[in-house]
Chains A and B, each alone.
Chain A
């Protein structure tokens, strides 16, 4: 073959028939995905002529099943690895392992984000079988090291076993197309190993991940939406850890801040949807929610306030009363790690009745998880702004940025802060039964309520401000304008950048 023939062969991927089947199913191929990711469909390819090392596979392994390229994403440099399922199931081989390592190295050296477009069947059997195969596959002592010099994003766009699963779990943002699967091993291998029939959906489908595993940040319907989600995620991020996040033009919030008064019921026993509150605080249309259905009692997501990237962590009373449980701690930790790694200020909107107590949490080791959450928050050196809307009780006061666990800690004028709900305190700590001594119970409860006033904590300067609901957005924006970390060029210390999560 001459050069042009070789090039055409490589660009033809797994052949017309397989490509046509994908097209008929509405699924993009590896190169179409790359073209959609990069501005104007343009990318600088590395390894077009790579093939399997095994002579018998060379002809049938165009680009050895993983397309690697560099280009512009939203006007800034980025790198990507796109798995080509039409070539030997995009299985991991010696040569395409080198291609991934190269993409990681070049993205890191040159300070640009790295994107994985995942769809792979796992290790390639001939390359990985036997003692020599395993020996060769574990030759890189830094293969799975993440120090987060640049943001990584991953899309699950089909079956993701092996490397596509591992890199999704290492990424800072993971999106899954419905119909994709992410698991340790395929249903066929799993069912055989444990003698139980398990469907692909049960094992690693979108519903499982969004509700139970928490490995996936967003679920979408199409390849196009998945790639758009990655481009949007990266728009909040600096290109690398030596930059502050980009700032864009400010936009008015979708809901007028004056509405905050009515969005949050005064009665602390009543619930409401915190997502509506966020819309009255952040720039219109900027809330990019992550892990919406996983631990929905705590909302996390990127957003902008006055054009600045921020990370929102907010209790959601609509679910579990907004109480922080084991999964919510995990969700908070992974999000704090993301924000701290890339200099994104954290804004906490607080309304929580205390940690969710009970057997389920204790069996999983809730106290340990609470400590990991607090440790992550205290180690995070990005600006932290915490605003209590209605109440904050118990040790979760610290987890949600109470006192000096934020750069600025403020409370709404009607907020309550205490060690526990006054109703519980009268009964448990003071031992007064409402049934037996109703008048004494009510008098003590009224006293404890008065002691829980925001002006008490502001009076000892453990809170920096007491504000009215409609002032929330302006107060946070004004705080962010002060807490800029200008002394270090808008950057934090990134102590959490090596914290493994997911």
Chain B
């Protein structure tokens, strides 16, 4: 079974947009969601290459630093 990778928010903010959908293939550093924080649009990126299994947040949701916002399965 492919390894599951947690995508973790590295700062606190509000989800401004979700950039990918379940089933999408992503590469390391591709944006998964974009947070509005510090008056900026800041991406939370894929830590590794993989396929998006699920997105755990939606637009306008508050997100805390350290929160898992999506899961990938390793490429």
- A contact residues vs B (CB 8 Å cutoff): 268-271, 317-321, 323, 353-354, 356, 358-360, 421, 423-424
Contacts and interface: CB of A to CB of B under 8 A. Distances in A.
Interface of B: 10-12, 37-43, 45, 65-66
Contacts of B41: 269-271
A358 B42 contact: no
Contacts of A270: 40-41
28 contacts: A268-B39, A268-B40, A269-B39, A271-B41, A271-B42, A271-B43, A317-B40, A317-B42, A318-B45, A320-B10, A320-B11, A320-B42, A321-B11, A321-B37, A321-B38, A321-B40, A321-B42, A323-B11, A323-B38, A353-B40, A354-B38, A356-B11, A358-B65, A360-B12, A360-B65, A360-B66, A423-B39, A424-B39
A271 B40 contact: yes
Contacts, number: 44
A271 B38 CA distance: 12
Contacts of B42: 271, 317, 320-321
B69 to A, nearest CB: 15
Given A271-B43, A358-B12, 17 more contacts: A269-B39, A270-B40, A270-B41, A271-B40, A271-B41, A271-B42, A318-B43, A319-B10, A320-B38, A321-B11, A321-B37, A321-B42, A323-B38, A356-B38, A360-B65, A421-B39, A423-B39
Nearest to B41: A269
Contacts of A353: 38-40
Contacts of A421: 38-39
A354 to B, nearest CB: 7
A359 B39 CA distance: 18
Nearest to B47: A211
A362 to B, nearest CB: 12
A270 B34 CA distance: 11
A110 B43 CA distance: 50
Contacts of B11: 320-321, 323, 356, 358
Contacts of B45: 318
Contacts of B40: 268-271, 317, 321, 353
